[in-house]
Structure 1
Amino acid sequence: MATIGGSTLSAFAMNTKARLGNNRLTWLTVVAVSILLKRALKARSRTKLIADARQVAREVKEDLEFDEYDIIIIGGGTAGCVLAARLSEDPSLRVLLLEAGQSGRTLKETRIPVAYSLLFRTKHVHQLYTEAQDSANGKRKFWPRAKMLGGCSSINAQMAQIGAPADFDRWGDIIDDDAWKWHNLQRYFRKYEKYVPHPEFPDVDLSVKGKDGPVEIGYFSEVSEGSKLFIKACQRVGIPYSPDFNTSKGTLGVNKVMTFIDEKGTRVSSESAYLTHEVLARPNLKVVVNATVTKIITEKVGDKVKAVGAEFAKSQNGTRYRVKSRREVIVSAGAVHSPHILLLSGIGPAAELEKHNIPVALDLPGVGDNLVDHPVVDLYYKNRYKDSPLHVKPKSIPDVFRLIASTLQYQILRTGALATNFGESAAFVRSDDRKLFSESDYPDKLNDTTSADNSPDLEIFTTPMAYKDHGDFTFPMHTFAVHAVLLRPKSKGTLTLRSASPWDAPVLNPNYLKEPEDLQKLVRGVRLITKIAKEEPLASRLDLGDKEALLDSDTHLKTDEELAELIKERVETLYHPTTTCKMAPLEQGGVVDSHLRVYGVKGLRVCDASIFPEIVSGHTAAAVLASAEHLADIIRSELRNA
């Protein structure tokens, strides 16, 4: 989910100066905002990270042996930080974590709740684009993926929603392993979790919440008045209130979103939670930043393939380094870069590798296949009360002063405009719910892609203001936005190589709306938004009479065919790509088994959203954290029994 901009705070200052002119007072206020934001979340102490590869590795030269570790983790994202912290708890294991970017925790934009999308157009994010989407008006879509420790947990909205319990029962059925089913896997959600109760939400069952995990979650983000009224309007149209989306009872219902934001109003990333200063001080853990892995080193052992290390570099023309693994190489580079690295290493569909003159280490057809994402469509409404946080991307001198005031409020009280998670309230529903979509209006019976009768396939969520182009464009008036997400799309895409160079982004084609039923379900989601917007008490807060062309005041009057065209024009990513190295039987296109071992390659595993057998019907970060906790236990158990 995007919010308020596409530049760093320094760039924000320069851009604002250009917009507002050289007025000395205005310029000083902009500088003041930048200084205050920098101080607001200043790192408590320097992190113990390694930037000089020579401290851990050797240059690629035939006459030099290269350094050896027990476990090499490629990618310090949401899963990689978990694995590095958990596996290095065993002092007998030498663990090396290689991350292409730098620390995310040192960037203030990753710590202030509203500020994360300021990083989208910076060097800290891979600037990826999809191929032209044939079923979405031929547009290429921006797909930002984090390039820093913490991964996308550092740049995405912190919505702590796990999906539906039955999603994981489906996982267990697909891979034929009960360990991945909800009744077993739920302990790993609790293991990472430290739920902090909030007095406004007394109905949360504390007996099913984690209390001692490293990741603090709760209801501590700021919520706009519009998002509060949205919850009441949803109940009036027939969506029940849910005190907690994350229990065995299932996901259906509406509420404020629980977040990975702590009680001090600070975003919690995988890096800040797991790679604490105490963890980084362990002598058996080395974390190397600015280290782009160019390939996994494999060798033939008889007729078998074995992963024995990794090669990496700081830049395209920089020195190449190698490190060796005694036991495991774990690829945790995300649903885009994990399959990309496997392909560059000669592991993937033979025809694809041969096309780019990459020696085939193992013909594994499923690598890069089955790409699935959550598509989202936004609707924009006028805020009658003119109290949206429009000033977080200032367009005038008064906006600048409001931003300074909000910065001081956040720094002192951890409340106000900067404390919003932006994704504030959410409703999870089924597209076949006849209370919401009557048979007379929607006679067609659509394919049920949900994981169970009590699992959703649509999410409707709110943001306190509208935006376009991932936050690059914010509206000139006060707005309120509501968004429809397709949680269980049938459309699947592919990830393939652009070239044999590790520095060329892969070819991404999610095939948005390729399956006609995906479009039909999103039409129902958008129609539901227009119904909720006209329901009290939300309707009185919105100015549905405003005819401004940018707004959706009259969208409820459109036909389904017109709504379909609107969806094709506006559909974007919710930043949840998955399933490109899916956990499934080999004959079903699987890449990894139930222990996340790559089929046919000894000593190689994958752990991140790419291993999802199916996309979850909710937000993906929680399932990645739980999967990494589970894998850490699997590896430790295997080592004990070796």
Structure 2
Amino acid sequence: MRSFQVITTAATVLTSLVLHCEAHRALSATIITRATKLLPSYDYVIVGGGTAGLTVADRLTEDGKTTVLVIEYGPNIMPNSIKTISGGFGGMSSGYLYDIQSVPQVNLQNRTTAVQAGKIVGGSSAVNALMTVRGTTEDYDRWGSFFSGSSDWSWQGLLPYFRKALNFVPPNADVAASARMTYNTSYWGTTSGVYAAWPSFQYPGTTLIMEAFKGLPGVEFPGDSGSGKPGVYWYPQFMDPKKVERSYAKTGHLDNQNRSNYHLIADSRVTKILLNGTTATGVTFIPANSKLLTNTTTVVASKEVILAAGGIHSPHILQLSGIGPKKILTAAKIDTIVDLPGVGQNFQDHPMLQATYQYRNLSAKPSPDDMFMNATFASWAQNVWRTNKTGPNSIATGNAAAWLPFPVISTRASTISSQLLAQNHSAYLPADTDPTVAAGYAAQMRALASALNGNNTAFFNFVITGGSTSGILIDLHPLSRGTVNVDPRDPYGRVPMVDYRALSNPMDVTIMTEIHRYARKFHFENPLTATWRTTEVVPGTSVQSDKDWEEYIIESLSPSEFHPVGTCAMMPRELGGVVDEQLRVYGTKNLRVVDASVMPTLPGGNTCQTVYAIAEKAADIIRSGAGTKARATVLA
């Protein structure tokens, strides 16, 4: 028996009288199976049952009185592929991901790319690689700087919520000692139902590769991944340490909740936010598999509608509801209720490039290769996993990485920073970009120009797995901005038009070239890697000049690490913002956005932990009815 409320069937809401008669029974039920059991209204209707939506719903219903309905597009299931830890990508089954392709990328030889986000209760936290990483202090201070120097959207303003968001469990003492792991529990909490824990095994090669960064100047080694400092460090993974299974929004914020005021409906697609003038009053939704927009259910929100549908779908729903850039809505024949130019603009994601280095003499055994090449080791690994869920199969995607500032990786940092500052920034946006959006982009570029020239923002990500090869380099702060808009040919279709506008700012090529050159420096100009007998497999030594690198990047770049953000940016309205510091949608009442789309700029790390922190902070903002500062101070 489930102890939370699940509505499994959507139909047209009956008359008010019938609904009121059913309300009492709905509150005492465990599983709601008929739409007639829907309450006549909820205090809050949350659109999206993912990382942010379930976190906010959990916190708002803690009092046992506040009624919340969560509406999720995907199914409410937990298949074994999602539970699994080994490999980290088990949850990325096509059945639990939205089927979206970007428009052809004109700067990537007209290639399209998959736009991946979780389509399941738990959202992207159910399908990600389980990497529990934060950005740096400067990443979060940058957000508040777009408002004022005293904004509570800052490292100090978010740190209490990073602590609240995750339950940190230290690594086993023997593993920590052998791998030379460091951690600092002061940056973590112990009360959340979402866990940050560690595998029971580490490959010695991981430590060896980490230590090799000491052979290059300027590299720091923070004592904990949660410290907000760039450098080379160990980080935990989203894992329940007892079950040795994925820990995510569903397990932490929905399962085992004994609250009759917390309802969820899965397999349901929200088609529109209902507005009385500019005040949000509820939503309409249809079964997710329905092709008819007429088979709608209406749900009333007496206090607020909270959009938590993510960086791709939150702007889409706003635009379908008449909130967004007027010219885009007009082209789609949607009546404009609030002309808000920033909705769907400012789209960002972390671009990735392959860079494969093969180590023929990395003297560290066993290694991940032995899982495939050493039958004795592989048999042992399978046996200890079956017996007590320990050993190499408890590793997700590696627990160590380098996150380095730009001056550390490039001697040209000052020059590149000056070049970015001197740009005519609006020239790298679509020609018809609203002046407010252009102003916001210019403000972001000025902030990133400063970051390029400093040591407090990580631009380079190199994931360390301890094997005989390495493979992926990530640009943590791309300069190009894309769009997520309704398709004017089919505005009410299931998916919006997604355009990464990859490499639209040509300085992204410059920065990624420097990132790759640093990877070469690490492998070939480093006294601590000299004995590894490294071979560069991809892109290969024929790539040398700036022109060579540009051609390689154009041919090979993936514009997405599946971290879509920015499309409902938390910035001043005059800078193209969509929500204010209380996450309220400009020009409306009783409508907020709480998800990755509110991030004005990307953090230098995987976005999941940051989304949890945003949701925790948002829940306190909503419950307090006050500004952000007082509550965060109490929690600190």
Report the TM-score when normalising by structure 1.
0.80
**Inter-CA distance 282–583: structure 2 relative to 1 (3 Å threshold):** same
Q: CA separation in 1, counterparts of 2:283 and 2:186?
A: 43
| Alpha-carbon shift at residue 286 of structure 1 (Å) | 0.7
What SS does structure 1 have at the residue aligned with 2:313? helix
Structure 1 residue 414 corresponds to structure 2 residue 389: yes
The superposition leaves residues 306-358 of structure 1 with CA deviations (integer Å, 9 ceiling, x where unpaired) of 33333332322363212111111101010001101111112111221121222
Q: Which among 9, 12, 23 is matched to residue 58 of structure 1?
A: 12
Q: CA separation in 2, counterparts of 1:404 and 1:296?
A: 55
Structure 1 residue 151 corresponds to structure 2 residue 141: no
**Corresponding residue of 2:423:** none
What is the RMSD of the two structures over their aligned residues, measured on CA atoms? Answer: 3.3
Give the counterpart letter for 1:544 in structure 2.
T
Q: CA separation in 2, counterparts of 1:457 and 1:567?
A: 20
Where do residues 91-106 of structure 1 align in structure 2 (5 Å cutoff)? 91-103=64-76, 106=78
| Alpha-carbon shift at residue 294 of structure 1 (Å) | 1.4
**Corresponding residue of 1:178:** 151
**Corresponding residue of 1:347:** 323
**Corresponding residue of 1:570:** 556
Q: CA separation in 2, counterparts of 1:460 and 1:639?
A: 38
Check the 8 A contact 1:487/1:618 in 2, yes or no: yes
What SS does structure 1 have at the residue aligned with 2:252? helix
The superposition leaves residues 190-226 of structure 1 with CA deviations (integer Å, 9 ceiling, x where unpaired) of 1112222223167433233222232221443754444
Q: CA separation in 2, counterparts of 1:457 and 1:221?
A: 29
Check the 8 A contact 1:51/1:290 in 2, yes or no: no
**Inter-CA distance 158–120: structure 2 relative to 1 (3 Å threshold):** closer
Structure 1 residue 606 corresponds to structure 2 residue 562: no
Give the counterpart letter for 1:566 in structure 2.
Y
What SS does structure 1 have at the residue aligned with 2:117? strand
Q: CA separation in 2, counterparts of 1:291 and 1:391?
A: 45
What SS does structure 2 have at the residue aligned with 1:379? strand
| Alpha-carbon shift at residue 389 of structure 1 (Å) | 4.6
**Corresponding residue of 1:245:** 225
What SS does structure 1 have at the residue aligned with 2:233? strand
| Alpha-carbon shift at residue 260 of structure 1 (Å) | 2.1
Q: CA separation in 2, counterparts of 1:47 and 1:283?
A: 8
Check the 8 A contact 1:432/1:446 in 2, yes or no: no
Give the counterpart letter for 2:300 in structure 1.
K
Q: CA separation in 2, counterparts of 1:365 and 1:389?
A: 49
Structure 1 residue 581 corresponds to structure 2 residue 559: no
Q: CA separation in 1, counterparts of 2:417 and 2:280?
A: 52
Structure 1 residue 486 corresponds to structure 2 residue 475: yes
**Corresponding residue of 1:16:** none
**Corresponding residue of 1:313:** 287
Q: Which among 626, 633, 637 is matched to residue 613 of structure 2?
A: 626
Q: CA separation in 2, counterparts of 1:459 and 1:370?
A: 21
**Inter-CA distance 401–134: structure 2 relative to 1 (3 Å threshold):** farther
**Corresponding residue of 1:474:** none
Q: CA separation in 1, counterparts of 2:468 and 2:591?
A: 49
**Corresponding residue of 2:84:** 112
- Unaligned ranges ≥5, structure 1: 1-44, 466-477, 546-550
Where do residues 527-566 of structure 1 align in structure 2 (5 Å cutoff)? 527-534=517-524, 535=526, 538=529, 540-541=531-532, 543-544=534-535, 551-552=537-538, 554-555=540-541, 558-566=544-552
Check the 8 A contact 2:194/2:238 in 1, yes or no: yes
**Corresponding residue of 1:90:** 63
The superposition leaves residues 518-544 of structure 1 with CA deviations (integer Å, 9 ceiling, x where unpaired) of 111111111111222334655645652
Percent sequence identity is 29
Q: Which among 42, 52, 61 is matched to residue 79 of structure 1?
A: 52
Q: CA separation in 2, counterparts of 1:320 and 1:402?
A: 56
Q: Which among 224, 241, 261 is matched to residue 284 of structure 1?
A: 261
Q: CA separation in 1, counterparts of 2:377 and 2:491?
A: 47
Check the 8 A contact 2:4/2:260 in 1, yes or no: no
| Alpha-carbon shift at residue 402 of structure 1 (Å) | 8.4
What SS does structure 2 have at the residue aligned with 1:488? coil
**Inter-CA distance 590–196: structure 2 relative to 1 (3 Å threshold):** same
Check the 8 A contact 2:200/2:392 in 1, yes or no: no
**Inter-CA distance 585–439: structure 2 relative to 1 (3 Å threshold):** closer
**Corresponding residue of 1:293:** 270
| Alpha-carbon shift at residue 287 of structure 1 (Å) | 1.2
Greater shift in the superposed pair: 367-376 or 154-163: 154-163
**Corresponding residue of 2:513:** 523
**Corresponding residue of 2:43:** 70
**Inter-CA distance 635–181: structure 2 relative to 1 (3 Å threshold):** same
The superposition leaves residues 205-252 of structure 1 with CA deviations (integer Å, 9 ceiling, x where unpaired) of 3233222232221443754444322211212123222221322xx422
**Corresponding residue of 1:512:** 502
| Alpha-carbon shift at residue 77 of structure 1 (Å) | 0.9
Check the 8 A contact 2:405/2:458 in 1, yes or no: yes
Give the counterpart letter for 1:309 in structure 2.
V
Q: CA separation in 2, counterparts of 1:513 and 1:287?
A: 40
**Inter-CA distance 536–420: structure 2 relative to 1 (3 Å threshold):** farther
| Alpha-carbon shift at residue 560 of structure 1 (Å) | 3.3
**Inter-CA distance 637–444: structure 2 relative to 1 (3 Å threshold):** closer
The superposition leaves residues 30-89 of structure 1 with CA deviations (integer Å, 9 ceiling, x where unpaired) of xxxxxxxxxxxxxxx7675635235xx634899997831110010011101101110011
Q: CA separation in 2, counterparts of 1:72 and 1:52?
A: 16
Structure 1 residue 197 corresponds to structure 2 residue 209: no
**Corresponding residue of 1:454:** 455
Q: CA separation in 2, counterparts of 1:464 and 1:556?
A: 26
| Alpha-carbon shift at residue 95 of structure 1 (Å) | 0.6
Q: CA separation in 1, counterparts of 2:469 and 2:83?
A: 24
Q: Which among 220, 239, 244 is matched to residue 261 of structure 1?
A: 239
**Inter-CA distance 109–412: structure 2 relative to 1 (3 Å threshold):** same
Give the counterpart letter for 2:622 in structure 1.
I
Structure 1 residue 496 corresponds to structure 2 residue 470: no
